[in-house]
Amino acid sequence: MNPIRVIILDDHPLLRLGLKRALEGEEGIAVAADCADIASLRAWLEGGGQADVAIVDRSLPDGDGLDLVPELKARGMKVIILTVEDADEEIRAAIDTGVDGYLLKSSDTDQILHAIGIVMQDAGAFPPHVLQKIARGDTGGDPLSKLSQREMEIAELVAQGYSNKVIGAKLNLSDNTVRNHLANIMQKLGFHNRVQVATLVLQHLKRHKRL
């Protein structure tokens, strides 16, 4: 089985080196590159660099790490933001960009490894306190009323952080069927990633005292 290839983008040398060493010591993980700025990461990509997961800081010498998310996603990578920022607006901005995970730099190695494993299963990797933050706020009307009963079941399982495979096992559906349902859910809601679905469901459950 091929290792999960990870790239690290962070301008703090000690953090970058520490994370690189921690990941390299884990079976099934390979650090494909570590970069200090956006320019060097783009140069690596243009040189043919490939990875499965990108761990990205937001605050970089030559820009905002979020600006790279669409480019990295287009290359088939999962993107985990690793940052010191935990304000609601920062988290929402990252989710709206389409990130797969959001971790604070206070996270330990086990939490980061867990997040890598989760995003590789096509699920969102967000710690509980971040999920609580993104569940704050309200939306007009109830867009979830557009969903069928089956779609709502799937949406609630997505909000619990389950992968398509686990959702399929719980509902006795194939992976492809779950994927098709999820695509329909996102189309009905006008969303482009499962994290936005999870956020809306969490808001819905909180309003109805089920969270």
Q: What is the pLDDT of residues 16-42, one digit of tens each?
A: 999 999 999 888 999 999 999 999 999
Cα 191-195-201 angle, rounded to 5 deg: 85
Half-sphere exposure in the Cβ direction for 186 (13 Å, CA): 15
Write the secondary structure of 5-41 as one string of H (helix), E (strand) and C (coil).
Answer: EEEEECCCHHHHHHHHHHHHCCCCEEEEEEECCHHHH
Q: Return phi, psi of residue 139, to 5°.
A: -130, 150
Q: What is the pLDDT of residue 56?
A: 96
Burial profile 13-47: b = 16 or more Cβ within 10 angstroms, e = fewer: eeebeebbebbeebeebebbbbbbbbeebeebbee
CATH annotation of 4-134: 3.40.50.2300
- C-alpha 159/C-alpha 196 separation (Å) is 9
- Please state the rounded mean pLDDT for residues 84-103: 83
Q: Where are the domains of the chain?
A: 4-134, 143-207
Q: What is the pLDDT of residue 1?
A: 78
- Please state the rounded mean pLDDT for residues 176-189: 88
> Would the pLDDT of 104 be above 50?
yes
Q: What is the pLDDT of residue 23?
A: 93
Cα 85-90-91 angle, rounded to 5 deg: 95
Top pLDDT among 144 and 41 is at 41
Q: What is the pLDDT of residue 208?
A: 65
What tokens does 134 get? 């993104």
SS3 186: helix
Q: Return phi, psi of residue 26, to 5°.
A: -100, 135
Q: What is the pLDDT of residue 138?
A: 42
CATH number belonging to the domain at 143-207, selected among 3.30.420.10, 3.40.50.1980, 3.40.50.2300, 1.10.10.10? 1.10.10.10
